[in-house]
Amino acid sequence: MSTTADAGLEFFGHVIDGEEVESLDGRRFATVNPWTQQQWAEVAEGSASDADRAIAAARRAFDEGPWPRMGRAERAAHIHRLADAMEQHAELLARLDSTDMGKPLAQAKHDVARSVWNFRFFADHQRDHVGEVLPMDSGHHSYTSYPPVGVVSAISPWNFPLMMATWKIAPAIAWGNTCVIKPAEDTPASVTQLGRLAIEAGLPAGVINVLNGYGVPAGAALTGDPRVDRVTFTGESGTGKLVMSSASQQLIPVSLELGGKGANIVFDDADLDNAVYWAVEAIFRNAGQICLAGSRLFVQAAIYDEFLARFREAAEALVIGDPFDPATQFSCLASEEHFTKVRSYIDSVEQDGGKILTGGLDPDGRWLVRPTILTDLPLDAKQYRQEIFGPVCVVNSFETEDEVVHLANDTRYGLNAMLFTENLSRAHRVSDRLRAGTVWVNCFFIRDLRAPFGGVGDSGVGREGGNFSREFFTEPKATVMQIERKPR
């Protein structure tokens, strides 16, 4: 369990085989609170040997342990107990994410609730699922079953530390697999705490193993190991290519949820109050550190000036402050490194031909970029084309449906898009033409966990959610039975 080091810092170890442990070589690294800019905890720094230990524990738990062999209802009950434990410790889990990455506490609490729901949903989904029976004319029938695959490596990013990790762990273990999760190095705390809760909740040892450390060596060691059966990764598109390349050496199937540059389209017949509310949420929630961010906003010419004025006013009204202050709606970026990256897009706006309508850097020297709206940028500007992953919205106007569909699709990404209109036919027509894994009409960020989730192009490979997760985390199997013996 948690120990306190000499410096009075929290310590987060690895959770391997039902125990919290140090790295084999005793190495630790610092995790920093980006609001105070102070180190607040020490974390076990995983090496390839620690990864080996974690994979071996998951392998043993799968090959010899009770988890894949127990009944579906019993496994679901275990997972609900873990979800109960998370609810009991919801405040702590939320505080860990806020401390690690500067997320406003109210948003972190919302993330914890969604993380709990990830477990409850997939526990019930596997318990209640039905296979198919396929009657055949030949005197046979076929039926399908969904046995687990084995050991799942899961690698998650820092923007929704607990939520992204549980989105992977929950379906993996619900379907009877065991897993090793590596949280991002900037945000190890909440996932380690989840590993502790799994022990407390009585999950068999080795079902959820948490490996802390950097992408290389710890993450990389999980992607190409022949004892691993699936790799599920969320992070940058460039890292996703490395993960896929490594996994391909062992023919390990991958699911990749990668970057985005979401288009947000506002037609002139939209309900403007609703559109402004969601436009703000889509780019300024979590300080814009959302793969699904509506970072390219297209507004139809007839309402451009009015919409922009209202969007600006709403952006400037966001309460900026300490993530732990309950009134705070917007806070700092997750790390100094990320702040430096986001800042580079702001520093060159004028040189790149654009204007800062509002926002920019924080005058107090924090790792904070204020809610920022950019206009007048050429369509080849880096702010318009690259994923900034911060609170920076690039706004353009458009005249026609055809034009905006072309603009929205003119990106190597294709994770999601939003469109706002009160015209039902137009909503369906435009949604159909958008090259994106998810299209939200008159809303944003609402999820049904049965729906496919994933991206087109550089936004990813594969889909997860509901039966799509089932297909990935199981080995769908056909059994063909003779019913009637026919003369040969």
Residue type, 396: N
Among residues 23, 99, 159, 372, the one that binds ligand NAD under rule CB under 6 A: 159
Give the number of other Cβ atoms within 10 Å of residue 128's Cβ: 10
Q: What count of residues does the chain have?
A: 488
Please, what is the minimum distance in Å from the beta carbon of residue 53 to ligand NAD? 17
Q: Contact between 331 and ligand NAD (CB under 6 A)?
A: no
Peptide bond into 217 cis (omega under 30): yes
Please, what is the minimum distance in Å from the beta carbon of residue 413 to ligand NAD? 9
Q: Site size for ligand NAD, by CB under 6 A? A: 31
Please, what is the minimum distance in Å from the beta carbon of residue 96 to ligand NAD? 16
Question: Is 337 among the residues known to form the active site?
Answer: no
Please, what is the minimum distance in Å from the beta carbon of residue 159 to ligand NAD? 5
Of 195, 138, 194, nearest in space to 487 by CA: 138
Site for ligand NAD in 458-477 (CB under 6 A): 460
Here's the x/- map for ligand NAD, 403-432, by CB under 6 A: it reads as: ------------x-----------------
Site for ligand NAD in 179-198 (CB under 6 A): 182, 184-185
Q: Would you say 61 or 180 has its CB closer to ligand NAD?
A: 180
Q: Would you say 127 or 341 has its CB closer to ligand NAD?
A: 341
Site for ligand NAD in 55-114 (CB under 6 A): none
Q: Contact between 157 and ligand NAD (CB under 6 A)?
A: yes
Block residue for tokens 């009657």:
135
Question: Is 257 among the residues known to form the active site?
Answer: yes
Block residue for tokens 């909740």:
201
Q: Contact between 223 and ligand NAD (CB under 6 A)?
A: yes
Q: Contact between 215 and ligand NAD (CB under 6 A)?
A: yes
Name the residues annotated as catalytic. Answer: 257, 291
Residues near ligand NAD (CB under 6 A): 155-159, 164, 182, 184-185, 214-216, 219-220, 223, 234-236, 239, 242-243, 257-260, 291, 387, 389, 415, 455, 460
